[in-house]
Amino acid sequence: MKKLIPVYVRVPVIFFIIFGAMEYFIDSGDRAAFIKYPMVDLILLVILLLIIAVEMIVSAVDAIVYQILPEEEKAKLAAEENLKFKESEWFKNLMSKLTRTVPIENEASLLLNHDYDGIKELDNNLPPWWVYSFYACILFAGIYLVRFEILGADNQEMELKKELAQAKVEVAEYMKNAPDLMDEKTVTQLTEAADLAIGKEIFTTNCAACHRADAGGQIGPNLTDDHWILGGGIKNVFHTITNGGRDGKGMVSWKTNGMKPRDIQKVASYVLSLRGSNPKDPKAPDGEIWVEDVPVAEVK
Ligand code: HEC
């Protein structure tokens, strides 16, 4: 066996197994442990030196033992060393365990009485590797039958469906806690006084110049009436504030100007809360009267 794996293969293999195990067991986040913790490099170096030292000691002991062996033992050892792998005792043992073949010289002992036109039949052993694989298959089939056909465990399709459903729940949960990822599909209208107060502040700072402090309209349209150029309702208003109005009209994209989706949600909710507030001297209505899409069932 020793001859089989030479020292220049054995040492690196052992070293990299230890190296791999360390990387696996040391929790170093997104960087490799040997980069994050220089201590690991030192330990690996010591381990490498140890492996080399052990190899040197073992080979030195071997050399000494060989020197003090009697001549005939030396000859035996040399003969063993020169054996090919397939001729070694170890390999032969393994093969006979796996196959239990009868040597060809003893074939006569297996001969059955059957003789068909000179074709003879041998009663060979089934090779153990085959027999045990067969038993394993029977066991597997039994467990499979009980698990899937009797106890009704999920098949692959069910597993996929469950995982997809779970993923949906997780995505929804994530979106709830990550308002910066909100878009016009997921946005909801806020009604809390605290949120609307922040919305009002944002409006006064950024929007009043064009829409007037009471949103009655000036350069930009009146935002308190039922007429909308680009569509009313939280989703459209969120979209307009995020992406801006028609080219050249003056309403810029507030996303490009660095406004966060959750702030856009608040100012949009504030704007919508002003509906019907009838400011003095409002700008004449622009656009169409907006009717929120109501699901058919609710209309009647
Ligand atoms: C530079 C002037 C200007 C500023 C500042 C401005 N707007 Fe506008 N806004 C406009 C104009 C002009 C339009 C009409 C766009 C069009 O016709 O496409 C408009 C349209 C809108 C609309 C759509 C109205 C409709 O009828 O569809 C909303 C909602 C709106 N603005 C909200 C805001 C909010 C909120 C802010 C502040 C974050 C803001 N605007 C800042 C000029 C402005």
User: Hey, whose CA ends up nearest to atom 14 of ligand 1?
Assistant: 220
pLDDT digits (tens, 9 = 90+) for 119-163: 988 888 889 999 999 999 999 999 999 999 999 888 899 999 999
AA identity, residue 175: M
pLDDT digits (tens, 9 = 90+) for 194-253: 999 999 999 999 999 999 999 999 999 999 999 999 999 999 999 999 999 999 888 999
pLDDT digits (tens, 9 = 90+) for 173-202: 887 776 567 788 888 899 999 999 999 999
Q: 103 or 40: which carries more pLDDT confidence?
A: 40
Domain ranges of the chain: 7-82, 193-299
Q: Which of 54, 53, 44, 45 minimizes the C-alpha distance to 18?
A: 44
**Atom from ligand 1 closest to the CA of residue 223:** 24
Could you give the C-alpha distances from 204 to 209, 222, 271, in angstroms and in order?
8, 15, 11
Structure tokens at 70: 């009697």
The strand ranges marked E within 81-202 are 111-116, 119-122
Can you say whether the dihedral through the CA atoms of 191, 197, 200, 202 is positive or negative? negative
Question: Does residue 49 register a pLDDT over 90?
Answer: yes
To test the pocket of ligand 1, the residue of 190, 203, 211 to mutate (highest count of ligand atoms within 8 Å of its CB) is: 211
CATH number (1.10.10.10, 1.10.287.70, 1.10.1740.10, 1.10.760.10) of 193-299 reads 1.10.760.10
To test the pocket of ligand 1, the residue of 201, 202, 251, 286 to mutate (highest count of ligand atoms within 8 Å of its CB) is: 251
